[in-house]
């Protein structure tokens, strides 16, 4: 647990970056500090590991005032991921990742072994281990930065705009990976971003800050979207708010129609829904598996890969997107084993879309 107790920070020039901040961050949760430039997000985060000292108030980590912990030992237990990866340019990837273990006194061999594990965890191939940072793409550098922060297995991870320097496609990939990683490792993560979409995608809880370092709302993403505390928060999340709210509700209560039995050639006749159309499950094993393996095919020979086949637990947003992307306005539903089981139409979805939209109105 990280606790901010009435924390303020005024810099020597007189700027109040953070004003009387109270925040309780539960262990094992992903918290995102979000808000426009200059609202004190980075200052707040850096006070956790004593890179910045509060002017008043205190910060406790698991009940202990950080002001009473030596900065070096405090920081060894707190991973830090910087913008652009923040890698040492003159060290190879593996030695960058091994940095903290070396500081902790591990031998070079032992530290490198741990570093290899960390690289694997963030999806980097062993072949990059002996390259220098300049020989990597921006996305790979950022992954190395995450691996370095995780290598010593610290309970807390601070991330300062970790994905801001990569292009939108890579950013989305990295966000997905961090989300999956967090489901596995359950660290206490505090991340700073100015991107509300990123905050809503990643955060278990979001702290919205406004200029002057004032906390506006601290709540889970669904609540930020559907019950913004004030005009400031409402305007931050106003874009696509109704659509985004659909991310927080699953498809599980939406009725679906079972697929007819496959014909002798394995194809499934969809004419009850869309005359002239069949579903061709992927060849061989007969499961749709990854998106695109199965195809919608019509009698004219037109073929469309099934985009976004759905699984139990997927969100209404994914469901709506899959239905809209389908040439027969129906999304394929897979069972828990990944086999085609049924379909959902726009008509099935519509009654379930209203509450999400209305709640956010």
Shortest gap between Cβ of 13 and ligand ATP (angstroms)?
5
Distance (Å, rounded) from C-alpha 86 to C-alpha 96?
10
Instruction: Choose between 17 and 318: whose C-beta lies nearer to ligand ATP.
Output: 17
Find tokens 């700073």 and name the residue. 192
Please provide the size of the chain in residues. Answer: 361
Which three-class secondary structure state does DSSP give residue 25?
strand
Distance (Å, rounded) from C-alpha 57 to C-alpha 348?
53
Instruction: Choose between 37 and 127: whose C-beta lies nearer to ligand ATP.
Output: 37
Shortest gap between Cβ of 207 and ligand ATP (angstroms)?
11
**CB-CB contact of 278 with 304 (8 Å):** no
Q: What are the residues binding ligand ATP (CB under 6 A)? A: 11, 13, 15, 17, 35, 37-43, 192, 194
Instruction: Choose between 151 and 207: whose C-beta lies nearer to ligand ATP.
Output: 207
Instruction: For residue 267, count CB atoms less than 10 angstroms from its CB and return exposed for 0-12, middle for 13-18, buried for 19 or more.
Output: middle
Cα dihedral value 293, 259, 302, 282, nearest 10: 20
Nearest to 328 by CA among 301, 346, 349: 346
Shortest gap between Cβ of 40 and ligand ATP (angstroms)?
4
Neighbour-count burial for 79-101, b at 16+ CB within 10 Å, e otherwise: bbbbbebbbeeeebbbbbbbbbb
Shortest gap between Cβ of 18 and ligand ATP (angstroms)?
7
**CB-CB contact of 76 with 103 (8 Å):** yes
Shortest gap between Cβ of 209 and ligand ATP (angstroms)?
7
Shortest gap between Cβ of 11 and ligand ATP (angstroms)?
3
Instruction: Choose between 209 and 323: whose C-beta lies nearer to ligand ATP.
Output: 209
Strand 64-65's sheet: what is its strand order?
A: 16-25, 2-10, 56-61, 64-65
Instruction: Choose between 41 and 317: whose C-beta lies nearer to ligand ATP.
Output: 41
Instruction: Choose between 190 and 330: whose C-beta lies nearer to ligand ATP.
Output: 190
Neighbour-count burial for 316-345, b at 16+ CB within 10 Å, e otherwise: bbbbbbbbeebebbbbbbbeeeeebbbbbb
Shortest gap between Cβ of 224 and ligand ATP (angstroms)?
17
Instruction: Choose between 44 and 345: whose C-beta lies nearer to ligand ATP.
Output: 44
Instruction: Choose between 18 and 254: whose C-beta lies nearer to ligand ATP.
Output: 18
**CB-CB contact of 249 with 293 (8 Å):** no
Shortest gap between Cβ of 8 and ligand ATP (angstroms)?
12
- 278 forms bridges with which residues in the sheet? 269, 297
């Amino acid at each position: 647990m990280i606790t901010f107790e009435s924390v303020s920070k005024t810099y020597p020039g007189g700027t109040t970056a953070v004003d009387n901040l109270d925040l309780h961050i539960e262990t094992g949760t992903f918290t995102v500090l979000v808000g426009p430039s200059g609202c004190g997000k980075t200052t707040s985060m850096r006070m956790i590991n004593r890179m910045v000292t509060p002017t008043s108030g205190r910060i406790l980590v698991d009940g202990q005032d950080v002001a009473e912990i030596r900065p070096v030992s405090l920081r060894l237990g707190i991973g830090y991921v910087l913008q652009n990866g923040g890698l040492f340019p003159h060290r190879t990837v593996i030695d960058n990742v091994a940095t903290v273990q070396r500081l902790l006194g591990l031998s070079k061999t032992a530290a490198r072994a741990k570093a290899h594990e960390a690289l694997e965890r963030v999806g980097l191939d062993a072949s990059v281990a002996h390259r220098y940072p300049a020989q990597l793409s921006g996305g790979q550098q950022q992954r190395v930065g995450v691996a370095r922060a995780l290598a010593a297995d610290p309970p807390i991870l601070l991330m300062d705009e970790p994905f801001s320097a990569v292009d939108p496609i890579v950013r989305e990939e990295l966000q997905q990976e961090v989300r999956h990683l967090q489901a596995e490792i359950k660290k206490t993560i505090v991340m700073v971003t100015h991107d509300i979409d990123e905050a809503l995608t990643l955060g278990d809880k979001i702290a919205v800050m406004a200029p002057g370092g004032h906390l506006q709302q601290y709540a889970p993403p669904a609540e930020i979207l559907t019950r913004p505390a004030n005009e400031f928060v409402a305007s931050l999340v106003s874009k696509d708010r109704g659509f985004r709210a659909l991310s927080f509700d699953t498809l599980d209560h939406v009725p679906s129609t079972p697929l007819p039995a496959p014909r002798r050639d394995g194809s499934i006749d969809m004419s009850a829904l869309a005359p002239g159309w069949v579903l061709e499950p992927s060849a061989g094993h007969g499961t749709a598996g990854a998106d695109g393996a199965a195809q919608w095919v019509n009698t004219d020979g037109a073929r469309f890969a099934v985009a976004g086949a759905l699984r139990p637990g997927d969100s209404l947003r994914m469901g709506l997107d899959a239905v809209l992307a389908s040439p027969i306005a129906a999304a394929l539903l897979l069972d828990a084993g990944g086999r085609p089981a049924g379909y959902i139409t726009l008509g099935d979805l519509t009654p379930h879309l209203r509450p999400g939209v209305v709640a956010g109105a």
